[in-house]
Chains A and B, each alone.
Chain A
Amino acid sequence: MVNCFHCGDPCSDIEIKHEEKSFCCHGCKTVYDILHDNDLSYYYDLQKTPGISPREIAGKYDFLDNEVIVEKLLEFNDGNTQIVSFLIPSIHCSSCIWILENLNKLNPAVKTSQVNFPEKTVRITFTSEENSLKNLVILLSRIGYEPYISLDDSDKKEKNINRSLIYKLGVAGFAFGNVMFLSFPEYFEHSEFWLDQFKPFFRWLMFAFSLPVVFYSGSGYFTSAYKGLRSKILNIDIPIALGIAVLFIRSTLDIVMNWGSGFFDSLTGLVFFLLIGKFFQQKTYSYLSFERDYKSYFPIAVTKLFKNSEGKIVEEQAEVYTIKKGDRLLIRNNEILPVDAILIKGNALIDYSFVTGEAEPVSKQSGDKLFAGGKQQAGILEVEVLKAVAQSYLTQLWSNDVFSKDKTGIFESITDSISKRFTVAILSVAFISTIFWLVFDPSKAFNVFTSVLIVACPCAIALAAPFTLGNVLRIFGREKLYLKETSVIEQMAKVDTVVFDKTGTLTTNQKNLITYEGVALSNEEKQLLTSTLRASSHPLSRSLYTILDKNNIQTLDDFEEEVGKGISATFNDNSIKVGSYEFVGFYDEITSELKNRTTVHISTNQVYKGCYIFNSEYRKGVSEIFEQLGNDKEVVVLSGDNEGERERLETLLPKGTKLYFNQKPDDKLNFIKTLQQNGKQVLMIGDGLNDAGALKQSNVGFVISENTNVFSPACDGILDASQFKKIGDYLNFSKSSVKIIKWAFLLSLIYNLIGLSFAVTGHLRPVVAAILMPLSSISIVVFTTIATQYIGKKLRMDINKQS
């Protein structure tokens, strides 16, 4: 088997020889020619087989002739120079970067182009006089880098990257370093001539450095503490804010009254370490989006048909948002219908699998209602709009309350739950010891009170969770489970109910399991069938064709394909009909059970033969994963599909697994809600837009994705489909990571007790605080890092053992 020189796929069907190189298709060869002719063949030196075979795009980007749409896509436009950013999902290697940044060699109108590899975007500056945006998109598509343009791009969002955390961290680090220098002399010398001379100057300089730390870098803790108090939650930021405030006030008083050098070193160090923890927690997968809704799935424009002044029907590319009820639209093959509509003309074969979970494309007759989100699979359609985008059946789901809520605030984190008790304990220790000293030695009381609050500032506790979870997040990333944020891990550890979607989640998207039922076909008939299928482009014909013997393919005498229904062909007096049961006829011989499933029926010479049944293939390890999860969790399957697969599922899954069919998107959402009202912690695993509500409602929502580049609905985590059977291990892993956090809490409490023993007795000197605080923080960081790496390694080994 030869592999394609351009894209590296095996050349299975055809092999095109060109300049002593093999190509799997003409698309790949064309790209090679384009690059070769323009002296860009370095592309192939940089990486082996870096290419992507280009897809058919004829007519697809006609909407870019519409100025309004173009204007919406452009980032900058002064009439001549235009700047545009594209998301190009197929960017995957250094060759991609190179070719995209050398676009000016292919088209001189391109001035500069810059790739952002982690985000898979390219930003292109070009002169519009020489080249239109449409040509640019076509150029990119021709070399295999088709941009992903969706409805989402039309609401231009200012790219507002929040960098405030980095600024805060920078300020804190800068101040921390300088304060350390200035406070150093006083650690060792108490009374020395020159030191005494400069003491006040050093101290006031430290004070100056700590001002931006308290009022800028630490401001987040004060606002968070205030918010917590207002909603009556004792979160971890309350003792931290208290600690920062007390540190600052006590230190200022110290230097004003000349009591000592203050705790400016501990103060700046504390804020610096805390912010590092926050920064570490923020691991983002910039090329994945966890916030997508239907807008990133829908097209930005559709072809609208209307009568011009002369009464002729003309096509126009219109923005999706401008489509109103009553408009006529033209939907081409493989286009997504963005609105609810009535079919007027054409053969509709609509694939709703992503939207409703129905596994099979449905064929519709004119007059039938079509729903938004369906993908046309055969030929051109003309439809009349029933409802505008925002009101369509599918998009209505997003008006549900769950989508306006932010999930992170709802669930209490483990740190907050411990800080409740911690805050109360600290305050009582502070007050009791103050009262004690007020009685015995009032001069020490203020000192003790502030010392307790300073030393008890839960820096180490606040760092335990961010560092543990940050590490775990990275380990999951390595194992191809991409989580939105660290709080998801805590939720994963609590899960006691797992809900699966069926289509696309338990099953793969390919249908490879094909069985034949009926009268065996003779060799002649088989040859006829293969020859007939060869000419058809229907997805079922294609997959059936690949499994049949391809000997003696003949040229047919007659061939006719009725789009979306079937094919009839004749050869040497033999006729054959291949297609749906409605097309082939013979209703009596087909059981109703078969009608529910994907079948291709065959009749030859007006005699019914049988049918090929396409079984959706279940992912490997479905039974094992259900058994593993079933041990200590409740497992449910929610399917938008009909009951056709019930029997197979029942044999595949352990007994007692609850199966629900014909679940609409709202039903799924409400099902999860009911579970939660019964006190369940729900993990939902789905894949399509129809699961979007359920994913959002559940405590943890994961999306299974065969290809992390393509669209996936809003969720808390994206799981690579190859890791499907490891879900159980991942859940256990999150449990052990929460255990680590608890151990880290214990460790930091020990430090706090040591510190408190200094504080309560009134012996806390700045140097003790300056040693204790970083020591506890660093040891927590070291402990959590080692512990998570250890359990990460164990997870690796467990997984390797299984496979």
Chain B
Amino acid sequence: MNIIYMLLAISVFVALIFFALFIYSVKRGQYDDTYTPSVRMLFEDELVKEGTSSKSETSKEKITNPKK
């Protein structure tokens, strides 16, 4: 039954990892703006769609150069 010491140690350790990640993300400002990313997320897909519907030349450019 002494295994419980190890189990507890592991569970607390895992909890601490998540806790540290939470603090880190707050510190990086991830919760400062909770709205814009939700809108921004939808743009990327649409961009490709727009690219294919417009001139083929530009669409190629966009596919070969997908960064931003």
Binding site for B on A (CB under 8 A): 39, 42, 45-46, 94, 97-98, 101, 104, 112, 114-119, 161, 163, 166-167, 170-171, 174, 177-178, 194, 197-198, 201, 205
With contacts A94-B39, A97-B40, A174-B15 known, is A166 near B31, CB below 8 A?
Answer: yes
Q: How far is the CA of A205 from the CA of B8 in the complex (A)?
A: 10
Q: How far is the CA of A668 from the CA of B66 in the complex (A)?
A: 61
Contact among A39, A45, A117, A178 with B33 in the assembled complex (CB-CB below 8 Å): A117
Q: How far is the CB of A67 from chain B (nearest CB, A)?
A: 30
Contact A118 B35 (CB under 8 A): yes
Q: How far is the CA of A152 from the CA of B41 in the complex (A)?
A: 33
Contact A117 B35 (CB under 8 A): yes
Q: How far is the CA of A108 from the CA of B36 in the complex (A)?
A: 23
Q: How far is the CA of A321 from the CA of B25 in the complex (A)?
A: 39
Contact B12 A170 (CB under 8 A): no
Q: How far is the CB of B62 from chain A (nearest CB, A)?
A: 9
Contact B23 A167 (CB under 8 A): yes
Q: How far is the CA of A243 from the CA of B54 in the complex (A)?
A: 68
Q: How far is the CB of B39 from chain A (nearest CB, A)?
A: 5
Contact A116 B33 (CB under 8 A): yes
Chain B neighbourhood of A45, CB < 8 A: 46, 50
Contact B33 A119 (CB under 8 A): yes
Q: How far is the CA of A39 from the CA of B62 in the complex (A)?
A: 12
Q: How far is the CA of A205 from the CA of B11 in the complex (A)?
A: 13
B10 within 8 A of A: no
B63 within 8 A of A: no
Contact among A97, A171, A177 with B36 in the assembled complex (CB-CB below 8 Å): A97
Contact A163 B27 (CB under 8 A): yes
Chain B neighbourhood of A167, CB < 8 A: 23, 26
Q: How far is the CA of A707 from the CA of B58 in the complex (A)?
A: 40
Q: How far is the CA of A115 from the CA of B43 in the complex (A)?
A: 13
Identify the interface centre among B12, B39, B40, B68: most chain A CB within 10 Å of its CB. Answer: B39
Chain B neighbourhood of A163, CB < 8 A: 26-27
Contact B8 A194 (CB under 8 A): no
Contact among B8, B36, B46 with A115 in the assembled complex (CB-CB below 8 Å): B36
Contact A42 B68 (CB under 8 A): no
Q: How far is the CA of A98 from the CA of B50 in the complex (A)?
A: 13
Contact A101 B40 (CB under 8 A): yes
Contact B1 A117 (CB under 8 A): no
24 chain-A/chain-B pairs, Cβ below 8 angstroms: A39-B54, A45-B46, A46-B46, A94-B39, A94-B42, A97-B36, A97-B39, A97-B43, A98-B43, A104-B68, A114-B36, A115-B40, A116-B32, A117-B35, A118-B33, A118-B34, A118-B35, A118-B36, A163-B26, A163-B27, A167-B26, A170-B23, A197-B1, A201-B8
Q: How far is the CA of A533 from the CA of B39 in the complex (A)?
A: 47
9 nearest A-B residue pairs (beta carbon): A117-B36, A42-B50, A116-B33, A94-B39, A174-B19, A117-B35, A118-B35, A166-B26, A170-B22
Contact A161 B36 (CB under 8 A): no
Q: How far is the CB of A430 from chain B (nearest CB, A)?
A: 36
B4 within 8 A of A: yes
Q: How far is the CB of A18 from chain B (nearest CB, A)?
A: 19
Q: How far is the CA of A167 from the CA of B40 in the complex (A)?
A: 27
With contacts A163-B27, A170-B26, A178-B15 known, is A42 near B47, CB below 8 A?
Answer: yes
Q: How far is the CA of A163 from the CA of B19 in the complex (A)?
A: 15
Chain A neighbourhood of B42, CB < 8 A: 94
Chain A neighbourhood of B54, CB < 8 A: 39
- Nearest A residue to B68 by beta-carbon distance? A104
Interface majority SS (helix, strand, loop, mixed), chain A: helix
Chain A neighbourhood of B58, CB < 8 A: 39
Q: How far is the CB of B33 from chain A (nearest CB, A)?
A: 5
Chain A neighbourhood of B29, CB < 8 A: 161
Contact A198 B26 (CB under 8 A): no
Q: How far is the CA of A178 from the CA of B11 in the complex (A)?
A: 10
Chain A neighbourhood of B22, CB < 8 A: 170
Contact A198 B4 (CB under 8 A): yes
Chain B neighbourhood of A42, CB < 8 A: 46-47, 50
Identify the interface centre among B1, B27, B34, B36: most chain A CB within 10 Å of its CB. Answer: B36
Q: How far is the CA of A43 from the CA of B34 in the complex (A)?
A: 22
Q: How far is the CA of A800 from the CA of B43 in the complex (A)?
A: 38
Q: How far is the CB of A211 from chain B (nearest CB, A)?
A: 14
Chain B neighbourhood of A170, CB < 8 A: 19, 22-23, 26
Chain B neighbourhood of A115, CB < 8 A: 36, 40
Contact A116 B36 (CB under 8 A): yes
- Nearest A residue to B12 by beta-carbon distance? A178
Q: How far is the CA of A403 from the CA of B62 in the complex (A)?
A: 55
Q: How far is the CB of B47 from chain A (nearest CB, A)?
A: 7
Given contact pairs A39-B54, A118-B33, A161-B29, a sample of 11 additional A-B residue pairs in the complex whose CB atoms are under 8 Å apart: A45-B46, A94-B39, A101-B43, A104-B68, A115-B40, A170-B22, A174-B15, A178-B15, A198-B4, A201-B8, A205-B8
With contacts A46-B46, A170-B23 known, is A161 near B32, CB below 8 A?
Answer: yes
Q: How far is the CA of A114 from the CA of B39 in the complex (A)?
A: 12
Q: How far is the CB of A285 from chain B (nearest CB, A)?
A: 12
Q: How far is the CB of A117 from chain B (nearest CB, A)?
A: 4
Chain B neighbourhood of A97, CB < 8 A: 36, 39-40, 43
Q: How far is the CB of B49 from chain A (nearest CB, A)?
A: 9
Q: How far is the CA of A163 from the CA of B27 in the complex (A)?
A: 8
Q: How far is the CB of A56 from chain B (nearest CB, A)?
A: 30
- Nearest B residue to A174 by beta-carbon distance? B19
Q: How far is the CB of A88 from chain B (nearest CB, A)?
A: 13
Chain A neighbourhood of B43, CB < 8 A: 97-98, 101
Q: How far is the CA of A101 from the CA of B41 in the complex (A)?
A: 12
- Nearest A residue to B55 by beta-carbon distance? A39
Chain A neighbourhood of B12, CB < 8 A: 178, 205
Chain B neighbourhood of A174, CB < 8 A: 15, 19
Chain A neighbourhood of B47, CB < 8 A: 42
Contact A117 B39 (CB under 8 A): yes
Chain B neighbourhood of A112, CB < 8 A: 68
Q: How far is the CB of B31 from chain A (nearest CB, A)?
A: 7
Chain B neighbourhood of A114, CB < 8 A: 36
Q: How far is the CA of A39 from the CA of B32 in the complex (A)?
A: 32
Q: How far is the CB of B11 from chain A (nearest CB, A)?
A: 8
Q: How far is the CA of A112 from the CA of B36 in the complex (A)?
A: 15
- Nearest B residue to A170 by beta-carbon distance? B22
In B45-63, the 8 Å CB interface with A consists of: 46-47, 50, 54, 58
Chain A neighbourhood of B40, CB < 8 A: 97, 101, 115
Scoring B residues 1 to 30 as 1 if CB is less than 8 Å from chain A, else 0, what string do you get? 100110010001001000100110011010
Q: How far is the CA of A120 from the CA of B29 in the complex (A)?
A: 16
Q: How far is the CA of A116 from the CA of B68 in the complex (A)?
A: 18
